[in-house]
């Protein structure tokens, strides 16, 4: 039986949602973008550094995808590998993208 929390998370993903899958690394992260059905928008992974400058380029990539595909919500997903995700997680939260 699925929990109410899991159902709420699934229901939060709509046609207007940009879903991001992020592979976390110590120095570099890789992201892919999908629609609510799992159709991929990115032809190849978007590579960005685990630095403030890298996070800014990541945000610009996201904003471009949101505009091109008419999305108004972003849901990032990542596996919290060691401590390498901490700065990215904070950046996402500070920019209203809840991981």
Q: Which residue has the higher pLDDT, 31 or 99?
A: 31
* CATH number, position 50: 3.30.420.80
Task: Please state the domain count of the chain.
Answer: 1
CB 63 within 8 A of CB 51: no
Examine the pLDDT at 49 and tell me if it is beyond 70. yes
Q: Which residue range forms the structural domain that includes residue 75?
A: 4-94
pLDDT of res. 3: 67
CA distance 60 to 78: 19
Q: Is residue 58 part of a domain?
A: yes
Q: What value, to the nearest 5°, has the Cα angle with vertex 69 and ends 46 and 93?
A: 60
Q: Is residue 78 part of a domain?
A: yes
Q: Is residue 99 part of a domain?
A: no
Q: Is residue 73 part of a domain?
A: yes
Q: What is the pLDDT of residues 56-96, one digit of tens each?
A: 999 999 999 999 999 999 999 998 879 999 999 999 999 98
């Amino acid at each position: 039986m699925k929990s109410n929390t899991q159902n709420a998370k699934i229901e939060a993903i709509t046609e207007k949602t940009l879903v991001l899958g992020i592979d976390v690394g110590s120095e570099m992260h890789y992201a892919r973008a999908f629609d609510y059905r799992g159709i991929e928008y990115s032809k190849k992974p978007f590579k960005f550094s685990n630095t403030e400058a890298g996070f800014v380029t990541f945000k610009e990539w996201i904003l471009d995808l949101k505009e091109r595909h008419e999305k108004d919500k972003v849901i990032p997903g990542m596996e919290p590998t060691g401590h390498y995700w901490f700065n990215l997680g904070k950046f996402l939260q500070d920019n209203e993208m809840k991981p």
